Structure 1
Amino acid sequence: MTAAARFFCADAALERGDTLAGTAPYGSVWVLIEYRGGWPHNGFDGLGLAPEIKMLVFGAARKVRARILLIRRHGRLLPGGGPRRWAVLRHGTDGADRQVWGAWSRDQDLAAIVDALDAPGEPGHPPVVLVCAHGLHDVCCAVRGRPVGRALSERWPHLVWECTHVGGDRFAANVVVVPDGVYYGGLTAGSAVTTVEEHLADRVHATHLRGYTDLFPPQQAAVAAVLGRAGPAGRHAYAVVSTVRDHDFWRIRLAGRPPVAAVYDVEVRSRRTPPHRLTCQGKSPSSAMTYEVTSLRGV
């Protein structure tokens, strides 16, 4: 009698052909905290920090709907050591992304994050490339994320960090570029290097795109469909002009920003999938919402 094969949610999602587009969580502010030790299952919430500091940071982040992620360099330690860092990153819809960076050695130093969340931040910083490698949260994030983290770190050692759970375990390996607010999924070491290289050249491709975090899922699906039809384009190449919902259907108009001159009308339909086991940790089947583009035409 043979033992049952181990379940991997990312393998199952690939076999089912789960749709990537429209799966990026909404958000425009991120708090990054470097933590080189083992990450608890629940990330920042599980750290053994001074309770008053943890509550202070969490409360300030919640007010602006910021996501708190633990980060570390691939291999956990910087060459030659160095102070631990923290950052507050904000996405601007006009492309004027802003960042604030600091360092910490004591728990109390993290209180500076509260002031940074109230500050406008500084433009001009390069983007941060995050690779979800939170194996204690989901094994696929480690099995698929760490090789991607290694490959990207070798290419861009100063831009790339491994991070805790970003959502969508079944789409591992997941890469998030912040504060651009762009989620990519289903990546391998090879495709991740190509995808990030194109992203840094301001060419977003539809192939591995999960979505833009400043858009809602049907809008994300519409943008991905346009990129798939018209070809790669800059992060801010298309603006959502209008979104009209009729029950499970959306009619979305996208207009290109210069130098893109095209306008597209996209129709999107939402539906729930049959129940499946969606994560490695989850034992009970559950359904997911998907967004299917039913019509795309130039105006």
Structure 2
Amino acid sequence: MTTTGRFFCADAARARGDSMVGTAPHGTAWILIEYRGGWPANGFDGLALEPGTKALVFAAAQAAQARVLLVRRHGRQQHQGPPRWAVLRYDGTGAHRQRWGTWDRDEELTQIVQALDTPDAPDAPDLKAPAFGTASLDAPEEWGGRPVVLVCAHGLHDACCAVRGRPVGRALSERWPELVWECTHVGGDRFAANVVVVPDGVYYGNLDAGSSVAVVGEHLAGRVRAEHLRGYTDLFPPQQAAVAAVLGRFGPAGRHDYAVARTLRDEDGWQIRVTGRPPGPAAVDVEVRARRTPQNRLTCRGPATSSAVVYDAVSIRPA
């Protein structure tokens, strides 16, 4: 993967052995906008949309603390029908709360604002999404609570997202063409290829074509493994590290098989109680400490160096 004479942040991070545990950005809502043209380096912010519509969507996303991502199918294949948009929310129950729509004109993206303001439910009629594959858009099928698999392939934002992300996008699209989208920047360029499963809110990193198919297959089967896991987006970094440590100690488990029941801050770090469902442990206490890394170049764009915070689980014991 290394190219002589050119710096790649993901190559450097792997050579250093950078930890990615606890690096999933916090958030429980996502806005997806299918955009089949070229993506600006700053994603949605850089699109030349009708100003009023863009301002409305941006303000609604900020109010809902939702992340806006541009998406497209791998290879920019030509698809029948207008591009799509979606609003997805994580609610802690495992229900995949989603609203989907289509847009031809910029002004039609204001539907996103309405979707963000409207309570939704997994079985609501307007949770139907346009059919995938060769099915007609005039005969939408119910989305049925299936998750969406996002692969960061935003090459203008960071070269590693393209170099490592696009092969993963191809491999996953060949296996699950109806579930997989390439997307703009999701954070953590040096952990490319990055995959986010939404609205589950699970970040995976350091993937390649082979490992991505295995990891996503396990996830869809209800088994989250500690390998390649960056974290759960409804948890804060120390909590993410605690859950990852439990998964590493006791083996893979479903997305909702473990919950953070208590988080106590002390002088040395955090004492975090994680409760679980059988066959996992009923409750364990995990001690997590934070440390800073030396200054390193963490992205492909620009020569600046910075330090990262690493969260280490230093002990796991029965509650």
TM-score bracket, normalised by the shorter chain, equals: over 0.9
In 2, are the aligned partners of 1:100 and 1:122 still within 8 Å (CA)? Answer: no
Q: Does 1:87 align with 2:107?
A: no
SS of the residue aligned with 1:75?
Answer: helix
Corresponding residue for 2:9? Answer: 9
Offset, 1:78: 4.0
Q: Does 1:19 align with 2:22?
A: no
Inter-partner Cα distance in structure 2 for 1:54 and 1:247: 45
Corresponding residue for 2:317? Answer: 297
1:94-149 deviation per Cα after TM superposition (whole angstroms, max 9, x unaligned): 22230000000000110000000012234142000000000000000000000000
Q: Unaligned stretches of 5+ in structure 1?
A: none
Alignment map for 1:150-299 (pairs within 5 Å): 150-258=170-278, 260-299=280-319
In 2, are the aligned partners of 1:203 and 1:234 still within 8 Å (CA)? Answer: yes
SS of the residue aligned with 2:37?
Answer: coil
Inter-partner Cα distance in structure 1 for 2:278 and 2:225: 18
Equivalences, count:
296
Offset, 1:76: 1.1
TM-score (ref. length: structure 2): 0.90
Q: Does 1:101 align with 2:100?
A: yes
SS of the residue aligned with 1:110?
Answer: helix
Inter-partner Cα distance in structure 1 for 2:317 and 2:175: 39
Corresponding residue for 1:42? Answer: 42
SS of the residue aligned with 1:88?
Answer: strand
In 1, are the aligned partners of 2:260 and 2:274 still within 8 Å (CA)? Answer: yes
Q: Unaligned stretches of 5+ in structure 2?
A: 123-143
Percentage of pairs with the same residue: 70
- Label 1:133 to 1:248 Cα distance change in 2 as closer, same or farther (>3 A): farther
Aligned mate of 1:128, from 137, 148, 152: 148
Offset, 1:22: 0.2
SS of the residue aligned with 2:249?
Answer: helix
Inter-partner Cα distance in structure 2 for 1:78 and 1:215: 38
Q: Does 1:138 align with 2:158?
A: yes
SS of the residue aligned with 1:55?
Answer: helix
SS of the residue aligned with 2:169?
Answer: helix
Alignment map for 1:61-72 (pairs within 5 Å): 61-72=61-72
SS of the residue aligned with 2:149?
Answer: strand
Corresponding residue for 1:115? Answer: 114
- Label 1:170 to 1:58 Cα distance change in 2 as closer, same or farther (>3 A): same
Amino acid at match of 1:11: D
Inter-partner Cα distance in structure 2 for 1:48 and 1:64: 23
Offset, 1:260: 3.8
- Label 1:278 to 1:10 Cα distance change in 2 as closer, same or farther (>3 A): same
In 2, are the aligned partners of 1:61 and 1:68 still within 8 Å (CA)? Answer: yes
Offset, 1:4: 7.2
SS of the residue aligned with 2:165?
Answer: helix
Inter-partner Cα distance in structure 1 for 2:173 and 2:315: 39
- Label 1:37 to 1:99 Cα distance change in 2 as closer, same or farther (>3 A): same
Inter-partner Cα distance in structure 2 for 1:208 and 1:281: 24
- Label 1:265 to 1:104 Cα distance change in 2 as closer, same or farther (>3 A): same
TM-score (ref. length: structure 1): 0.96
